[in-house]
Structure formats: C-alpha cells, structure tokens
C-alpha cells in the first residue's frame, strides 16, 4: 500500500474505533500477518488490550486470522476492507432509496456493529423507529422483519460463517482458533422467527424522576430470560452486492445517455432479473429471452412486444456491445456483456480526465492511440492533424504522467 493509503486507513480506524484499535490495525497493515504476542511486543501494548482490539477488528471483518501447521494463529489486516468504510454513507443511502427508513437503519446497524443476529437487529431498529414516531405510535417487529427478509432475498445482507456443529461436539482439545464455514445455499436463508412485539421508547431522566424510586422497582434476574431464538446465526452487510448495484446503475445511466430512456429501462429490467442469479465477477449476465424481458418490464411501461424486439436488436447492434445476442429461442436470447460495459465506462472516464487535464488536442491524440492500440509518432501527427513539434510535446506530457507507455520496436 502507498503511504497515503496507510494514512487514510489510520484516520478511518481512529475515527471509528479509537487509538488502540488504530495502533494495532496500522501495525498489521505495515507488517503483514503476525501472531498475537509479536503484535503486543512490537506495539508495546498489553496482551489484554491487543486481544480486545483484534476482537473489534475481526468483528468488523477488518482483520482475518489463519492457523498454521504448528498451531500458531496469525492475524492479517484487510486493507481494502478498511478503505471501504469511506463508502458506508453511500451503502446506507442506497438502502434508504430502495427499502425506505427501515432498510436504511437495518444496514446502518449491521455496519456499526459488524455482525448481529436478526432478532437483535429487528429490536434495535424497531426501537429507533419508535423514537422518531409521534406519541402513542410504535413500530411493529413484524414490519422490520419483513424488510430484513427482503434485504436477504436480494442479497444485500448475508449470513456470517459459523463454527460447524461437529467441531463443537469434538471431545478432543479445542483448536487454537475456530474454523468458520458456511454452506452457500444457506447464505441468504432467513431463520423462521416469530418476533412478536413493538419498539420501545427510552425513558427520559424527567420520567425517571417523576416515577417510582429506583429501589422500589421490581428487579428481574437474568435467569428468567428466554433463550435467543436465532442464537449463533449472525448477519452482515454484503458489500459486494452494493458494488454490483452501483455497477448496474452506471451501466443503465450510460445506456440512457447514449440512446434513450426506453433503452435504459430495458437494460435495467435485464440487470434486475439477473442480479441474484449472476455472480458479481461474471463476464456476462444469465441469458434472458425476449419473452421473459417483456413480461418483467415495469407495470406502467406500455411498449408492445414488437417495439421491445426492435430495441433489443438496436442494443445488440450497437458498437459498444453492452447487450449481446446469444441465441434465437424464446424470441431471441440476450445477455449483458458486463466486462465490456465496464471497460467502456472506464475508457470514457479516462478520456474525460485527459481532456480536463491536458486539453482537447491531447484528448484527440489519446483517443487515436486507444483506437489503434500501437501507433508511431509520425502516424500520430498525420492522423490527428497536429504539427510535429506540438504532437511531440503532447505525447511526452502524457507519457510523463503515465497515461501512455513507450514501446521500442526492433529492426
């Protein structure tokens, strides 16, 4: 990592978790994986404080651990995950736009706490929403649970890996660190909970003063507490799914700018149909038939099947190749070329950066080199219609800023 990235990680850790966690986290970022006692020795921090700091970092997926053959547990910082904390407000706002205030608070609680059980999230969110309501109104647990289920169904939240039951029942000595596993089929499976209740308001200090003396209030022992129905099933925010959503929005926006709103709505529908069935790293979406796309268009979108087919043909014939045709069954099978779409978006951003930094003539040369892949200086002058001295200066300027590279040919 660069020094600037390390400094940014340091500031993020300090702002969210305090000085001790920041000290341990930055040490691991600088040194790589290390065992517990080495971390304590190198940072000059007590073993107890190092353990607590590592617990916080592991809870928030900022540090991972690995057991080596000799039984030594080493801890390693996840730098990219620390930097993703910058996007927390965007994750929360995205959930608010998709699932209203309830979804926003669910994701916020998961990001603030790292991992939580569904029952704990539902109660926390119901209490927070009740606080914002008018007197006499409360938020029902069932309503929050329904939103949580919708978030799981669309993969914005997912289960955390857990210790397998076979490991718990093993009579032998416990391992140095637990091995966490999860079945991919269960990753978005919501446990069947009957959470009955409503959100509660916090008692203000004035209410406490006006009420009974604290000594006279009935005391409840912890022995009478009911067991947590989903104990051991923890959930976390699925950040990769949010990034997939951001990618899809960028593709839809690009299609709208290049063509029209109807084309972008067709592409949005195709992405929405594939958002769960297609991996975030897949080069293409799952093939979709023209008939399936027509049935899945938004209710108020009144276009005929014939017009849809014309739009799909137009999208498939476009030089950018965001949409490709993969077959003829079902009225035609279509896919979205995700990798090519992202490459086109990245190229457009680069062209914009070059134009802003170096001017329109440099942008013309840059587009020419992108198109030709490899080109000699004399050809640049001829094709871009720029004087030799000026073209040479512009090429050198972009070369020095690493926007271009020089390849020496052999005679």
Q: Where are the domains of the chain?
A: 3-77, 86-164+177-199+231-237, 240-339, 359-405
Q: Which uninterrupted H or E stretch holds 357? A: helix 338-358
pLDDT greater at residue 170 or residue 354: 354
Q: Where do we find the tokens 């140095």?
A: 176
- pLDDT per residue as tens digits for the range 255-282: 888 888 888 888 898 888 888 888 878 8
In CATH, the architecture of 86-164+177-199+231-237 is Orthogonal Bundle (1.10)
Angle 224-230-234 (CA atoms, 0-180°, nearest 5)?
125
What the block records as the tokens of 20 is 């001790």
Confidence of residue 212 (pLDDT cuts 50, 70, 90): very low
pLDDT at residue 294, rounded to an integer? 87
- pLDDT per residue as tens digits for the range 397-408: 888 888 888 776
- pLDDT per residue as tens digits for the range 161-204: 888 776 555 566 777 777 788 887 888 888 887 777 676 776 65
Residue 318 φ/ψ, nearest 5 degrees: -65, 140
CA–CA distances in Å: residue 205 to residues 129, 136, 184, 208: 20, 19, 48, 5
Is residue 3 predicted with pLDDT exceeding 80?
yes
CATH number of 3-77: 1.10.10.10
Beta bridge partners of 323: 336
What the block records as the tokens of 265 is 């709505």
Q: What share of the chain is helix, strand, coil (3-state, %, to 5)?
A: 60, 10, 30
Angle 90-93-95 (CA atoms, 0-180°, nearest 5)?
110
Q: Residues 24, 45: contact at Cβ < 8 Å? A: yes
Beta bridge partners of 77: 63
Q: Where is average pLDDT lowest: 61-70, 132-141, 156-165, 311-320?
A: 132-141
- pLDDT per residue as tens digits for the range 236-250: 999 999 999 999 899
What the block records as the tokens of 290 is 């023209």
What the block records as the tokens of 112 is 């603030």
On the question of a common fold for 86-164+177-199+231-237 and 240-339, the answer reads yes
Rounded Cα distance between 244 and 365, Å, is 33
Angle 331-336-339 (CA atoms, 0-180°, nearest 5)?
155
Rounded Cα distance between 158 and 233, Å, is 10
pLDDT greater at residue 206 or residue 163: 163
Rounded Cα distance between 200 and 122, Å, is 12
pLDDT at residue 275, rounded to an integer? 84
Q: Where is average pLDDT lowest: 210-214, 259-263, 284-288, 386-390?
A: 210-214
Confidence of residue 370 (pLDDT cuts 50, 70, 90): confident
In CATH, the architecture of 240-339 is Orthogonal Bundle (1.10)
Instruction: Return the HEC string of 161-230.
Output: CECCHHHHCCCCCCCCCCCCECCHHHCCCCCCCCCCCECCCCCCHHHHHHCCCHHHCCCCCHHHCCCCCC
Burial class (CB in 10 A: 0-12, 13-18, 19+), 309: middle
What the block records as the tokens of 336 is 């979205």
Angle 261-262-264 (CA atoms, 0-180°, nearest 5)?
65
Number of other CB atoms surrounding residue 392 within 10 Å: 14
Residue 342, CB half-sphere, CA atoms under 13 Å: how many? Answer: 13
Q: Where do we find the tokens 């004035």?
A: 206
CA–CA distances in Å: residue 394 to residues 356, 358, 363, 364, 378: 14, 8, 10, 11, 13
Confidence of residue 221 (pLDDT cuts 50, 70, 90): very low
Strands 323-327 and 116-117: unpaired
Is residue 218 predicted with pLDDT exceeding 80?
no
Q: Where do we find the tokens 């500031």?
A: 11
What the block records as the tokens of 244 is 């997939």
- DSSP symbols for 294-344: HHHS-TT----HHHHHHHHHHHHHSTT-SEEEEE-GGG-EEEEBHHHHHHH
Q: Residues 85, 33: contact at Cβ < 8 Å? A: no
pLDDT greater at residue 372 or residue 215: 372
Is residue 411 predicted with pLDDT exceeding 50?
no
Q: Cβ neighbours of residue 400 under 8 Å, at least 6 residues apart? A: none
- DSSP symbols for 247-273: HHHHHHHHHHHHS-HHHHHHHHHHHHH
């Amino acid at each position: 990592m660069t020094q600037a990235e390390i400094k940014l990680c340091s500031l993020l850790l300090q702002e969210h978790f305090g000085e001790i966690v920041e000290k341990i986290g930055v040490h691991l970022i600088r040194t790589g994986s290390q065992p517990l006692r080495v971390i304590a020795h190198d940072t000059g921090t007590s073993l107890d404080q190092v353990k607590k700091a590592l617990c916080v970092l592991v809870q928030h997926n900022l540090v991972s651990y690995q057991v080596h053959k000799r039984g030594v547990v080493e801890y390693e910082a996840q730098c990219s995950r620390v930097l993703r904390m910058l996007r927390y407000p965007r994750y929360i706002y995205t959930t608010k736009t998709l699932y209203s205030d309830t979804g926003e608070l669910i994701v916020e609680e998961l990001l603030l706490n790292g991992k939580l059980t569904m029952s704990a999230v539902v109660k926390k969110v119901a209490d927070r929403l009740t606080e914002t309501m008018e007197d006499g109104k409360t938020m029902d647990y069932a309503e929050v649970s329904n939103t949580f289920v919708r978030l799981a169904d669309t993969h914005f939240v997912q289960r955390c890996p857990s210790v397998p039951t076979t490991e718990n029942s093993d009579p032998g000595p416990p391992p140095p660190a637990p091995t966490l596993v999860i079945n991919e089929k269960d990753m978005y499976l919501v446990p069947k909970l009957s959470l009955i209740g409503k959100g509660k308001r916090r008692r203000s200090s004035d209410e406490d003063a006006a009420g009974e003396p604290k000594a006279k209030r009935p005391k409840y022992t912890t022995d009478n507490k009911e067991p947590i129905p989903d104990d051991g099933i923890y959930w976390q925010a699925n950040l990769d799914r949010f990034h997939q959503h951001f990618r899809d929005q960028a593709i839809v926006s690009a299609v709208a700018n290049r063509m029209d709103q109807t084309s972008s709505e067709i592409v949005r529908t195709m992405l929405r149909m594939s958002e769960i069935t297609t991996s975030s790293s897949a080069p293409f979406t799952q093939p979709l038939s023209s008939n399936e796309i027509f049935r899945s268009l938004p209710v108020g979108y009144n276009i005929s099947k014939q017009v849809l087919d014309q739009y799909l043909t137009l999208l498939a014939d476009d030089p950018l190749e965001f949409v490709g045709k993969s077959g003829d069954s079902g009225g035609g099978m279509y896919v979205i070329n995700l990798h090519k779409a992202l490459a086109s978006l990245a190229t457009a951003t680069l062209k914009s950066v070059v134009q802003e930094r170096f001017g329109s003539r440099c942008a013309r040369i840059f587009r020419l080199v992108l198109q030709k892949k490899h080109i000699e200086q004399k050809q640049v002058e001829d094709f871009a219609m720029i004087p030799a001295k000026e073209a040479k200066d512009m090429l050198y300027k972009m070369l020095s800023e690493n926007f271009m590279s020089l390849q020496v040919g052999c005679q």
